[in-house]
Amino acid sequence: MNSSRLSKLTVAIVTVAVCLITGTAIRANAAIPKTTPQAIEGSVICECGCNMTVSGCNHEGCGSKAEMEAMAEKEVASGKDAAAILQDFVLKYGTKILATPPPNGFNLTVWILPICGGIVGLSLVVMLLRRWRHVQQSAAENSEPVSIDPETMAEIEEEMKKVTSDK
């Protein structure tokens, strides 16, 4: 495979990936549902150390879960949207409180790196498969039948006759 064809394939893969990422981001921002306390509780991590969302925390009598649920209910009742409520949680607890890191700064690598890794891995697999196939084809084309010395061939045939006649 020549390099211009490989570069076209790489450009095509990158273009498709960028379109998918952009389309997903636009679709995610297009439909913003009504804010509920349960949605907020599913977006923040409980502070008790269980490393689960507030809605998923299963510690009985968890003080931080109750405090965070009350804060979410109070914020929703005051009429704030989800982004403002999450910003209040970040101001109080820091960005580590968010279940999904915000897509900016260093945290952007969490969103981009898996996609880039997948593209690079897929490209490597395609390149290796094509190279292996090319090596096999060229080996088959370059192979010549082995010529055997007529004297040696006669000796082999005599031995074969002896072996088959002994049985």
Q: What does the alpha-carbon distance between residue 61 and residue 47 come to, in Å, rounded to a whole number?
A: 13
Does 147 fall in a domain? no
Assigned domain for 6 exists? no
Q: 48 is in which domain, residue-wise?
A: 33-100
Task: Tell whether 74 is covered by a domain.
Answer: yes
In a domain, 109, yes or no: no
Is 106 contained in some domain?
no
Q: Which residues pair with 45 in a beta bridge?
A: 53
**In total, how many domains does the chain have?**
1
Exposure string over 91-124, b if 16+ CB within 10 A, otherwise e? eebeeebbbeeeeeeeeeeebeeeeeeeeeeeee
| CATH at 92 | 1.10.8
pLDDT tens digits in sequence order for the chain, 167 residues long:
566 676 777 777 877 766 667 665 555 554 556 778 888 888 898 888 888 888 888 888 888 888 888 999 998 899 888 889 999 999 998 888 888 877 777 878 877 888 999 999 999 999 999 888 877 777 666 766 677 888 998 999 999 988 887 66
